[in-house]
Structure 1
Amino acid sequence: MVEGNFSKLADVVWHRADVLVWLDLPLWLVAWRITVRSLRQLAGLDTSAQARRLTWSRAFFGRRSLLRTAVRKYRHNRPRYARQVAETAALGVRVVRLRSGREADAWVAEQLGRR
């Protein structure tokens, strides 16, 4: 099993997989989750090391803020991911594309039920 964003290794790893799961969430949901997580961290509701280093500028307002970077990377990377996933599917790898948290939860529950 390989877990994480290894799109740079797609040519090496993906074609060996039995199943490729693409969590393809909409941009509005990604932005919402970053916003909520950042607000929780800034309010002191998360005491992780990452949360202690977060500032308003780093979260929202700086040129390299988390939110701005996420939007930029989403727009830049998503077309490439779609192409790589299609190429992998053409090689016979089963692709599961999950477009919401609800779809992901249902798919995981289904997989756990098969055990």
Structure 2
Amino acid sequence: MFFTELAEALAASPQEWILDGNFDRTRHIKWHDVDMVVWVDYPFWRVFSQALTRAVKRIISQEELWPGTGNRESFRKTFLSRDSVLLWSLKTWRQNRKRYFADMINPLYSHIQFVRLTSIKETQVLVKSLNVSA
């Protein structure tokens, strides 16, 4: 049902849209009509340090991850849980990179222009060229 709803939502959307995320199980639906994929491929140390910094700030501030959901970071969840975003970062960073490299040469996605950003500077250049604010 989720896959059908996603396909219907994308089909009904305007011709221009931006989608983000790494949810791999829906890639075949999301990428069917995609023109460009911007892959933010920062080094592991940057990804992990940003995840750690965000988690600690959210633990201290008790800011909701998604407003209105009550979903908040906690010390236990961040540092002592199998559901830790830090553990997820450790486990998935390398496999996500492998997957994106494979996708870039996959004939199924030959219609897509891949833009791989490996630094903050490259990201800033792209954003500036699109004339959007970051």
Q: TM-score, normalised by structure 1?
A: 0.76
Number of the residue aligned with 1:59? 78
1:28 counterpart (15, 22, 45): 45
Q: Matches of residues 1-115 of structure 1 in structure 2 within 5 Å?
A: 1-5=17-21, 6-14=23-31, 16-44=33-61, 47-50=62-65, 53-87=72-106, 91-112=110-131
Q: Distance in 2 between matches of 1:81 and 1:29?
A: 18
Deviation of 1:34 (Å)? 0.8
Partner AA of 1:60 in structure 2: F
> 2: CA distance between counterparts of 1:7 and 1:112?
29
Task: Output one character per residue of 1:16-43: Cα deviation in whole Å (capped at 9) or x when no partner.
Answer: 3222211112211111001111111222
Corresponding residue SS for 1:4: coil
State the aligned residue count: 111
Which stretch shows the higher mean deviation, 103-112 or 57-66? 57-66
In the TM superposition, what whole-angstrom CA distance separates every residue of 1:33-77 from its partner, at most 9, and x where no partner exists?
A: 011111112222xx4223973221211232332101121122233
Q: Find the aligned partners of 1:63 and 1:8 in 2 and give their Cα distance.
A: 21
Q: Percent same amino acid among aligned pairs?
A: 24
Tell me, which stretches of 5 or more residues in structure 1 are unaligned? none
- State how far apart, in whole Å, the 2-side matches of 1:93 and 1:67 are: 31
